[in-house]
Structure 1
Amino acid sequence: MPRAYIPKVVTANALLEGDVIYQTATGWSRNLAEAEVLTDEADADLRLIDASQQHDRVVGVYLADVDISGPTPKPTHFREDFRARGPSNYVHGKQEAPKHV
């Protein structure tokens, strides 16, 4: 019996900024909650191929497993959890507190 397909998102790094980004149905986002969750292996492969050809926007494109049991997708691997939260060397970017508070 074949294993069930684990849902995935297409992720990469933005070419110019280096930020972690996720493919949405209409483009790219820096927010994992906005990522297009792929539940079909053939569809995921096609989306990966499409993303891999966007050399002017992204580098390091790959599929990352996600857990979709909650309201938003969550990383299933610690590496992806680190990437989703932002750099860990000091507080900046995604980890920085909003300036208006």
Structure 2
Amino acid sequence: MAKAFTPKVVTASDLLRGDVIYQTATGWSRDLADAEVLTDEADADLRLIDASQQTGSVVGAYLADVDTAAGTPKPKHFREDFRAKGPSNYPHGKQEALNNV
């Protein structure tokens, strides 16, 4: 039996800045909360193809599982949680903001 499709987002890296980005309905965002949550497998495949063809601005596009129970997408895998928090080797940016909460 085929595995049931679970909610996903399209994620990639910004080609010029290297930041983790998420596909929205109208473009890209650096915030996972802005990501377009895909619940249909065919639609997800089409959005991934679209992202993969944007070779001048993104690299490494793929579908990532998310949990939507809280209303906003949250990473289901520790790798995605780590990516969403940003680089951990800099004393500034997303990681530093999280340390000061």
TM-score, length-scaled by structure 2: 0.90
- The aligned runs of 1:11-26 (5 Å cut-off) are 11-26=11-26
Amino acid at match of 1:59: V
Match of 1:49 in 2: 49
| RMSD (Å) for aligned C-alpha atoms | 1.2
- The aligned runs of 1:66-85 (5 Å cut-off) are 66-85=66-85
CA distance in structure 2 between the aligned counterparts of 1:82 and 1:91, rounded to whole angstroms: 16
Match of 2:91 in 1: 91
Structure 2, unaligned stretches of length 5 or more?
none
Q: State the SS of the aligned residue for 1:49.
A: helix
Match of 1:27 in 2: 27
Match of 1:64 in 2: 64
Match of 2:6 in 1: 6
CA distance in structure 2 between the aligned counterparts of 1:3 and 1:31, rounded to whole angstroms: 29
CA distance in structure 2 between the aligned counterparts of 1:88 and 1:96, rounded to whole angstroms: 8
CA distance in structure 2 between the aligned counterparts of 1:58 and 1:94, rounded to whole angstroms: 20
CA distance in structure 2 between the aligned counterparts of 1:88 and 1:19, rounded to whole angstroms: 12
Structure 1, unaligned stretches of length 5 or more?
none
Q: Per-residue deviation at 1:2?
A: 4.1
CA distance in structure 2 between the aligned counterparts of 1:27 and 1:53, rounded to whole angstroms: 13
Summarize deviations over 1:13-70 as a string: whole Å, max 9, x none: 0000000000000000000000000000000000000000001110010000000000
